[in-house]
Amino acid sequence: MKFKAFLTENGVNLLERRFLPALDKMGKICHLFLTRDHAFFLHNLLSGDGIQCIAQFHKETLFDDYRISSQNEDRIAFAIDISILQRAVRSSVSICSEFGGGGSTANRLQIKLVKKLPPNCTQPMPFLTFETKGYKSAVIQDIPISKPLSRAQVLELQTALDMAQDLPQTLVQVPDLNQLQNYIDRMKHVGDLLNVFISKYGDLHVQVATTLIRLGTEFRKLPVIGEQAVAPSDEQHLSAQSRSERAVLRGDAQSVQVSVKHFSKSLQCHLAKPDCAFYGILPQSACLTVIFQFFVPGTRQTDKSISLHCRLPVINPG
Amino acid sequence: MSSSAIDAEAPDLVCQLDNVQGMVDALSAVRWKRQQDAVIELSEHGIVLIVEESGCLQGKVYLKRELFMQYEYTAQGRPRFGVSLGLFVDCLNTFSVPGHSSLIEIRYPGPDMELLLKSVDSPDASIYAEIRTKIPDTISWDYNFEPAGSTPLSFTVKSAALKEAIDDLEWPGSSIQIKLQPDPPSVTFKGEGHGDLQIDLMYYVNTDLLIAFNCDHEVSYRYKYKFLRATTSNIPSSAIKENRGSKLTIGRGGMLKVQHLVSVARSSAPHPHIDSAGYQQPSRIAFVEFFVKPEEDEDTVND
């Protein structure tokens, strides 16, 4: 089992400034799953509860001279602490920047999988090692990782990953992630469960309802991907609640109940600076999905080499 | 404005407010603990919110009708209802997301006697809330405040200084004596508990601190620290920033009245109608009042 690669400048920027801060909010520990062509950061795919988060990068987005080999179709997976990884990347960046503006920083940040005997241990332990060559110094940082996953566990992870690729039939685009985050953070004080309604008309309606209060935010006329419908014109004067209920009865909307905390966490992905975000509900209310879209810089074209989405467990199907 | 109610039963009150943050600030000033039941009283003059604790402390927030963009009151008598203060404030907070104008409509009662709130400025992104109301508890003790004599015993102090003084008195704790004396004109806060701490505010010496002082004879009463603390623990940061004063008056029997002023002016975004001096209209102030009963037995300092 071997893995060795150089982090590209773009890769370092993506990880350090955008993805690792976002992924850190999803949970301390994640699986890093490396295949011949892709690197995945996976949260909660094997544990079943909690918010699942799937970040996928094409190898060239992050790495240069990417070499991987294993007896399991060149797939390697292990658990890693995101905050330690983030610290290692950050300090590598500061060492690299010793070069100043002049020289190229290419091929100065190597990462590889190693087994080492830590001090006071009798058993060698696996590490992900960062080797950074600065102007005057070279620094090696060993990030402790879990034992690489067994063949059966990797298969389980791959299966869970394949299952997590289902797309909702209707996706609505969130107008402003920061604003939604602000609302949700305030709604968190009022209750623990969030009712989410998504309609084919482009409505996104989130609501906290307890015995004492019903507090909600409704966004209407949002851009829709997938199945769409035209909103009935005679329901404009109705309350958000009755409009949503009628749309659900007509089969034009779905609703699920999720944890406010999970919803708020999913919004933390805005730290990865996506260009758009879409929410949708899977058939049979299996889960609430949020898909983040990244554009090729300077264009409105989807960057297919990066993908990020979260799946929120449903507490009560609507 | 197209708000003439067409419903079969017109609600008691429909009003619109453009500065939710100001209302949140004013209501938070009387929020001294997590779970607090409040009574809201509606009238043609405005909205009054009242909270009370153990027959010794009452907090009141007056939101005059002038604070509202629109105030349509149709009820007979003065409707009163109970709400959870914490829930009400947390809920209002959702309406004051920064960077967005927050014009809200408040309506009472809803079909099931709820208090209804909704944002009214953008039809495609709206917020709404329905807060269940309760039949209000009868207020256990009447906080009728009567002047102690012909000259009111009162002083006005910078809100920030008052808060600081009361925060400092936390160390001796338990029971705090407030003494006003005409010669030399001064106010003394004295705490005796785990230790002694005395804070003297001298009139004339520092006019920035003690802004006004009225007292013709020496008077002194003791108040429970936790009640005094409640009167300043949540003075909104806006009142401190605007360098406002708080007025304290001692009434008959030692009843202490503490008054704060909280600005409910239009949100700070530059507004074409603000006059050149930048001053807000004086009417856009919410009054926050506390009434604290003195400790009955002067000798006991036990908590």
Can you give the residue range of the structural domain that contains B44? 13-131
Which of B100, B131, B162 is at the close of a domain? B131
Looking at this predicted complex, what is its ipTM? 0.85
Interfacial B residues in 165-224 facing A (CB < 8 Å)? none
- A287-301, B86-100, B144-158, B274-288 — most confident range: A287-301
- Closest-CA residue in chain A for B94? A186
- Helix ranges (H only) for chain B are 20-28, 85-94, 159-168, 225-232, 237-241
Do B98 and B40 have their domain in common? Answer: yes
Q: Are A127 and A116 in contact (CB under 8 A)?
A: yes
CA distance A116 to A120: 12
What pLDDT sits at residue B99? 64
Chain B residues in contact with A175 (beta carbon < 8 A): 125
Instruction: Report pLDDT digits (tens) over B106-127.
Output: 999 999 999 999 998 877 888 9
pLDDT of residue A98: 64
For residue B175, give Cα distances in angstroms to B169, B170, B222, B241, B294.
9, 10, 6, 29, 10
Specify whether B171 is located in the same domain as B58.
no
Q: B127 and B166 share a domain?
A: no
Q: Answer yes or no: is B83 within a domain.
A: yes
In the predicted model, what is the mean pLDDT of chain B? 85
Q: What is the pTM of this model?
A: 0.86
Q: What's residue A106's pLDDT?
A: 55
Q: Is residue B146 part of a domain?
A: no
Q: Which residues of chain A does B94 touch, with a Cβ-Cβ cutoff of 8 Å?
A: 183, 186-187, 190, 215, 217
Residue of B83, B84, B96, B124 for testing the chain A interface, max A β-carbons within 10 Å = B124
What whole-number distance in Å separates Cα of residue A8 and Cα of residue A104? 11
Pairing label, strands A306-313, A38-43: unpaired
Q: Are residues B188 and B254 located together in one domain of the fold?
A: yes
| Closest chain A residue by Cα to residue B97 | A182
Q: Which two tokens stand for residue B104?
A: 């809200």
Given B97, B131, B165, the domain boundary residue is B131
Residue identified by tokens 């503490």 is B258
Instruction: Answer whether residue B141 is part of any domain.
Output: no
Q: Do A240 and B126 touch (CB under 8 A)?
A: yes
Flag whether B145 is in a domain: no
B112 part of contact set with chain A, CB < 8 Å: no
A99 CA to chain B: closest CA distance, Å? 41
Taking the C-alpha atoms of residue A206 and residue A216, their distance in angstroms, rounded to an integer, is 6
CB contact under 8 A, B125 and A219: yes
Tens digit of each residue's pLDDT (9 = 90 or more) over B52-80: 988 889 999 999 999 999 999 999 889 99
pLDDT at A270: 94
Of A183, A212, A218, the CB nearest to B97: A183
CATH of the domain at B174: 3.70.10.10
* Same domain assignment for residues B285 and B171: yes
* The pLDDT of residue B4 is above 90: no
Q: Check residue A294 and report its DSSP letter.
A: -
The shortest CB-CB distance from A213 to any of B98, B127, B131 is to: B131
Pairing of strands A306-313, A52-58: antiparallel
Q: Is B132 on the interface with A (CB under 8 A)?
A: yes
For chain B, list the strands marked E by DSSP: 13-17, 37-43, 46-53, 57-64, 70-73, 80-84, 104-108, 115-119, 125-131, 153-158, 175-182, 185-192, 196-202, 210-214, 219-224, 245-250, 256-263, 285-292
Report the C-alpha gap between A131 and A133 in whole angstroms. 7
Q: Which residues of A touch B (CB under 8 A)?
A: 175, 179, 182-183, 186-187, 189-190, 211-221, 239-240
**Quick one: pLDDT band at residue B19, thresholds 50, 70, 90?**
confident
| A-B contacts at Cβ under 8 angstroms | 61
Total tally of structural domains belonging to chain B: 2
Give contacts of A212 with chain B, Cβ < 8 Å.
Answer: 84, 87, 131-132
- Section B270-278 average pLDDT: 44
Q: Are residues B111 and B161 in the same domain?
A: no
Beta-carbon separation of B93 and A186 below 8 A: yes
Residue B151: what pLDDT? Answer: 81
Residue of chain B whose Cα is closest to the Cα of A237: B123
Answer whether residue B58 is part of any domain.
yes
Contact call for B127 and A216, based on CB within 8 A: yes
Same domain, B288 and B183: yes
Reduce the DSSP state of residue B34 to 3 states and report it: coil
Alpha carbons B59 and B289: distance in angstroms, whole number: 6
| Ordered mean pLDDT values, 10 residues apiece, chain A (318 residues) | 92 94 95 97 90 96 94 95 95 72 61 91 92 80 95 95 94 92 92 96 96 94 95 88 94 96 95 96 94 94 96 88
> Which pLDDT value is given to residue B272?
44
Task: Judge whether B5 lies within some domain.
Answer: no
**Tokens at residue A107, please?**
């091929």
Confidence label for B300 from pLDDT (cuts 50, 70 and 90): very low
Spatial CA neighbour of A170 closest among A223, A216, A97: A223
Residue B269 has a pLDDT of 46
pLDDT of residue B210: 87
Higher pLDDT, B148 or B8: B148
**Is residue B277 included in any domain, yes or no?**
yes
The identity of residue B292, as a single letter, is: V
- B111 shares contact with chain A (CB less than 8 Å): no
- Same domain for B217 and B105, yes or no, is no
Contact B128 A216 (CB under 8 A): yes
Domains defined for chain A, CATH in brackets: 2-163 (3.70.10.10), 170-317 (3.10.150.10)
Q: Model confidence at B207, in pLDDT bands (50, 70, 90)?
A: confident
Domain boundary among B101, B131, B161: B131
A179 vs B87: CB contact, 8 Å cut-off? no
Q: Which residues pair with residue B16 across a beta bridge?
A: B70, B105
Q: Tell whether B164 and B260 lie within a shared domain.
A: yes
| A34 compared with B297, residue with greater pLDDT | A34
CATH number at residue B109: 3.10.150.10
From CA A312, how far away is CA A201, in angstroms rounded? 22
Shortest distance between the Cα of A184 and any Cα of chain B, in A, equals 8
- Kindly determine whether residue B91 and residue A183, on different chains, have CB atoms separated by under 8 Å: no
- Find the residue in A nearest to B119 (Cα): A217
Mind giving me the DSSP string for B264-278?
-PSPSS--TTS-TT-
**Other CB atoms closer than 10 Å to residue A65's CB: what's the count?**
11
Any idea which of A254-258, B38-42, B102-106 has the lowest mean pLDDT? Answer: B102-106
Residues B110 and B213 grouped into a single domain: no
pLDDT at B299 over 60: no
If asked whether residues B54 and B163 sit together in one domain, one would say no
**Does residue B265 belong to any structural domain of this protein?**
yes
User: In a 3-state reduction of DSSP, which class is residue B279?
Assistant: coil
Cross-chain Cβ contact B99/A179 below 8 Å: yes
pLDDT of res. A66 = 95
Residues of B in contact with A239 (CB under 8 A): 128
- Are B161 and B286 members of one domain? yes
DSSP A19: I
Shortest alpha-carbon distance between residue A236 and chain B (Å): 10
Q: Does B130 touch chain A (CB under 8 A)?
A: yes
